[in-house]
Structure 1
């Protein structure tokens, strides 16, 4: 049999790809593919699935492809950037991207066009409009998103959440709820959630969900999602949750324009933070692959034959990496995941550079200096001839016959 691609020599086994699907797995597969790639000493995983990102248009949005090729994230779930009024912009992004993009529809029809406040006017939280939008765009929308904190909802309390849950019940999809600064109280939010719903920023240092309500929610099947972001993750809160027997169901970045350059950075870095908190590597990988796939019914997340050939190849370095949470608490991860290749539908993603940071995004002097230094280093690297004379071939030899 001839395959399109064979990744051989890596752990846990060889992976063959044909027609965009995983065609065979196992040790010592015959090297009969059109492209045979040696990944000895490396680890192949399902393409990572980031359950909470922002890739749609608006204040928070980023471009996924320039990040995907160097991080192994093949599926990006946009968590509420778009509402009913703005979904067309996200659909255009999804159509043009090389990665897979799914969406959680914001209960507020305006989505995240601005920094916050999208649910202060309940006119925007139109249940009938949201239901119709989910039904019309089932191929893209996998759930409903609502942010519940004092800035976003104003005096409306948990009413936007109640409306999101109504949409979820009527359309048969889960609801992801962002928790943050009270009011409303985090316990009031958690008590409303159903089995299969998702609480993101589950280890938030601002919301600090550590009481009986978070234990009860997890006990009845509410999923706990890290959702790191720029203010949604604290090591000390996660430590106390682990002591309570609570473990994150899924690991996501809440990657957006304000967290991309720190403190979240990317999904492998966020996964390293879970290693620093004491979670084992196998569990961390599951929480960024098969578990988010199951949470939203997404394709991928597995290396089973017949699954989409969304693959990530990593070097697992047994070296310490200093990592920080959203509040600058530092830990040391015992391992580091370094992406070596990312495949979507069996196709290797090419390198791409990220666009400039939008002018409204706040950056520290150190972040600006690091971005400037990176630009200079890239310019210097790309300005240098790729190889010297000994690395070239005479493509059009001269005819030296004398006339």
Structure 2
């Protein structure tokens, strides 16, 4: 078999049944799918890439992002190519009224963009408040929208905090659960400021539903209700975001036997410039808290894939050729949570290549932040410095005379 692409000599980390294993080997890609995996594959390929000394994983799946239009949304491609994230689950940016905008993003992005439908039909057009008017939380409309868009929608998203729901308490969640139950999909619930009480939210959730911001310093889910929810199969998702992750809460949960099922960023227009930055940095925060690397890799590959029934998440033959290549640098890496608590990861994961369906994602420059995003003076200075560095880099000729060929020679060879 001739491969389109052969990744040769790497260390493969992928799911093997319920666990993640690490072993040396090659990955052969043909027609956008993984065609062969194992040591010593024949180098019969259109392109052979030597990945010796590098970690090869399935393309990362970020279970909680915001890439749809609106206040929170970002363009995924300028982050994806240097982070290894090939599937960006948009978690509620769009509701029934605004799904077409998200569909256009999914159709034009270089990455995969499945969605969780916001129970509020207006989605996240603004910063908050989408469920204060219960008229927007229309269960029949949500059901019809999910049924008509099964290839795009994988679940329902409900934000439950004081600002979002106003005086409506957990009623938006009840409606989200009703729509999800009718369609056989999970609910992801955002937790934050009370009321409504956290226990009231957790007690409603079913096996397979997802609590995002599970280590929130604001919600602080540490009591009996979160243990009961986890015990009946509710999944805990990190969902870092601008205010949804605290090291001390995570450490208390781990000490009590609670472990996140999935690691996600809640990457959006306010968290992109810090404290989140990207998924590999968020993964390093879980490493800093003591989780082993195989568990961290599983939480951003096979676990989210199984939870939402997504393609990918493994390096199995026949799977989509969504692949990430990392340099695992054996160096201390300081990382910070949403409340400026600092911990140190023992390693740093640096992405070197990201493939979607066997295609190498090309470099993409990010757009400047929208004017409504609050930034510190330090963030603004860093963005200005990055722009200067990029300008200098791109304004400098790529190579000198020694790196060029004479494409149209002045003196053509004479014919005999």
TM-score, length of structure 2 as denominator length? 0.96
Q: How far apart are residue 308 of structure 1 and its match?
A: 0.4
Check 1:151–1:394 CA distance in 2 against 1; reply closer, same or farther (3 A cut): same
Distance 2:412 2:301 in 1: 61
Alignment of 1:265-344 (within 5 A): 265-344=277-356
Residue aligned with 1:178, SS: strand
- Segments of structure 2 that go 5 or more residues without pairing to the other structure are 13-24
1:116 matched to 2:128: yes
1:362 matched to 2:374: yes
Residue aligned with 2:117, SS: strand
1:160-199 CA-partner distances (Å, limit 9, x unpaired): 0000000010000000000000000111100000000000
1:374-402 CA-partner distances (Å, limit 9, x unpaired): 00000000100011111110111112799
Distance 1:224 1:335 in 2: 24
Distance 1:400 1:356 in 2: 49
1:104 matched residue in structure 2: 116
Partner residue of 1:255 out of 267, 279, 289: 267
1:392 matched to 2:404: yes
Partner residue of 1:213 out of 225, 230, 237: 225
2:62 matched residue in structure 1: 50
Partner residue of 1:157 out of 139, 150, 169: 169
1:182-239 CA-partner distances (Å, limit 9, x unpaired): 0001111000000000000000000000000000000000000000000000000000
1:201 matched to 2:213: yes
Distance 2:41 2:85 in 1: 26
2:235 matched residue in structure 1: 223
Distance 1:272 1:28 in 2: 31
TM-score, length of structure 1 as denominator length? 0.99
2:36 matched residue in structure 1: 24
1:58-116 CA-partner distances (Å, limit 9, x unpaired): 00000001100000000000000000000000000000011000000000000000000
1:264 matched to 2:270: no
Residue aligned with 1:168, SS: helix
Distance 1:252 1:105 in 2: 17
1:70 matched residue in structure 2: 82
